[in-house]
């Protein structure tokens, strides 16, 4: 980790904090971007998301790196959230100060630095990893059907997302006008396009450019509340909606094409691409039931890893159906029973092994033979 990180941040006018909210939000956003990128190519290496960039920066000088970052963080006065996962630290500071001091805030080959920032198209993530790669992409987004004014369904999604991230109010912005704060109790159904609705810290944004559609984007926490069905399902539904209205509103087809669903609903392990979060969940199961340790700490470690992977899969928009969905649901219930002391920790391995065998996914079965 960077030496004297706390002192450096204070010198820049930023207050470092071990805030679990800031750090968790950054980690979830990075996970969503990395998982989507990896599964798009079908292997474990990150790749170029359709809305971002992935680049090897190992040969860049410090000045060249600043130039590269400036191209992404274009407003030096804009506040960004920077997080150092290995140090358990996050802080908010102006983008310009982060770029100017990047040599003291990120050490190549040692640190991961995650930066949450805002673009005209919505919230975005920039990652400098310890392997000296830069990943930059907008956070997941989905188009939603909407008429000449904000409909009650969209208004409910916006408010749910705001409450999930603790936003005290909304910012309502029309072209060539300053943002206007709106209480969350405001009736949003009278609002007309073009306009933008956003949380004060830009963790969630709704762009409403014209009648027909709105584009919702944000951090995983915002979207998990605003899009209960998930980003992928929302995109799939909008594509279906656009096809139905193709004769009357052909422009919706272009919107749907710009935001395609990237994941199918997998039903068999052979369909799951390596590098996806779902593949990681399967490997967790295999490792757990193949291990010799069945004591409490081993069960605790598996439970923590499983719940974390489950959240990451949701954030990445990955879906499963059929026997895979039944297996994952059954494992989740087994962990719930263990948490409620209904299933002893020593019996968890046996329970998971039985569930995998029932789904024909035991270590000796099909999953291991791919």
pLDDT along the chain (370 residues), means of 10: 77 72 72 53 37 78 93 90 87 93 88 83 82 84 95 96 94 88 96 92 86 90 89 89 94 88 75 80 83 53 82 74 85 75 62 72 43
Domain count, the chain: 3
Same domain, 160 and 79: no
Same domain, 54 and 161: no
Which residues are CB-neighbours of 284 under 8 A, at least 6 positions away?
302, 305, 306, 309
* pLDDT value for 302: 81
CA atoms within 13 A on the CB side of 197: 27
SS3 194: coil
* pLDDT value for 295: 41
Of 228, 258, 288, the residue at which a domain comes to its end is 258
* pLDDT value for 28: 65
* pLDDT value for 294: 40
**Cis amide linkage into residue 88, ω under 30° from 0:** no
Nearest CA-CA partner of 361 in 319, 321, 328, 312: 328
Same domain, 197 and 275: no
SS3 141: strand
Of 258, 290, 309, the residue at which a domain comes to its end is 258
This prediction has a pTM of 0.53
Same domain, 96 and 197: no
Same domain, 213 and 333: no
Q: Are 297 and 20 in contact (CB under 8 A)?
A: no
Same domain, 99 and 178: no
Residues β-bridged to residue 141: 217
Same domain, 195 and 252: yes
CA atoms of 191 and 198, how far apart (whole Å): 14
* pLDDT value for 162: 95
* pLDDT value for 21: 63
Same domain, 110 and 190: no
* Total Cβ atoms within 10 A of residue 37: 21
* pLDDT value for 147: 95
Same domain, 98 and 222: no
CA atoms within 13 A on the CB side of 207: 14
- Ranges of beta strands (E only) in 39-179 are 53-56, 79-84, 89-94, 113-119, 122-128, 133-138, 141-146, 169-173
Same domain, 156 and 111: no
CA atoms of 261 and 263, how far apart (whole Å): 6
* Runs of H (alpha helix) within 101-142: 102-105
Same domain, 17 and 124: yes
Same domain, 104 and 146: no
Domain around 100: 5-138
């Amino acid at each position: 980790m960077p030496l004297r990180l706390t002192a450096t941040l204070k010198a820049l006018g930023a207050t470092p904090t071990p805030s679990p909210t800031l750090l968790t939000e950054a980690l979830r956003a990075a996970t969503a971007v990395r998982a989507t990128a990896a599964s798009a190519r079908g292997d474990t290496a990150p790749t170029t998301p359709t809305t971002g960039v992935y680049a090897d920066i190992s040969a860049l000088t410090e000045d060249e790196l600043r130039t590269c970052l400036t191209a992404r963080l274009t407003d030096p006065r804009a506040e960004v959230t920077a997080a150092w996962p290995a140090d358990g630290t996050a802080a908010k500071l102006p983008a310009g100060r982060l770029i100017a001091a990047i040599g003291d805030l990120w050490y190549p080959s040692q640190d991961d630095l995650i930066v949450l920032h805002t673009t005209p198209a919505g919230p975005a993530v920039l990652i400098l990893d310890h392997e000296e790669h830069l990943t930059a992409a907008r956070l997941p987004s989905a188009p939603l059907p909407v008429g000449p004014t904000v409909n009650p369904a969209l208004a409910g999604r916006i408010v749910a997302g705001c409450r999930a991230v603790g936003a005290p109010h909304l910012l309502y912005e029309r072209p060539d006008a300053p943002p206007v704060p709106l209480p969350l109790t405001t009736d949003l159904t009278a609002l007309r396009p073009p306009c933008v609705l956003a949380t004060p810290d830009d963790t969630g944004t709704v762009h409403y450019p014209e009648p027909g559609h709105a584009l919702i984007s944000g951090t995983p926490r915002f979207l998990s509340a605003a899009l209960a069905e998930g980003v992928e399902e929302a995109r799939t539904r909008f594509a279906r909606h656009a096809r139905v209205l193709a004769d009357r509103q052909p422009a919706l087809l272009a919107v749907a094409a710009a935001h395609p669903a990237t994941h199918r609903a997998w039903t068999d392990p052979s369909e799951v691409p390596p590098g996806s979060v779902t593949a990681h969940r399967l490997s967790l199961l295999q490792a757990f039931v193949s291990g010799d340790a069945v004591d409490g700490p081993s069960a605790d470690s598996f439970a923590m890893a499983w719940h974390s992977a489950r959240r990451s899969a949701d954030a990445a928009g990955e879906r499963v159906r059929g026997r895979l969905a039944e297996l994952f649901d059954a494992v989740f219930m087994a962990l719930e029973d263990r948490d409620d002391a209904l299933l002893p920790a020593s019996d968890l391995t046996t329970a998971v092994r039985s569930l995998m065998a029932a789904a024909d996914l035991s270590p000796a079965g099909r999953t291991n033979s791919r």
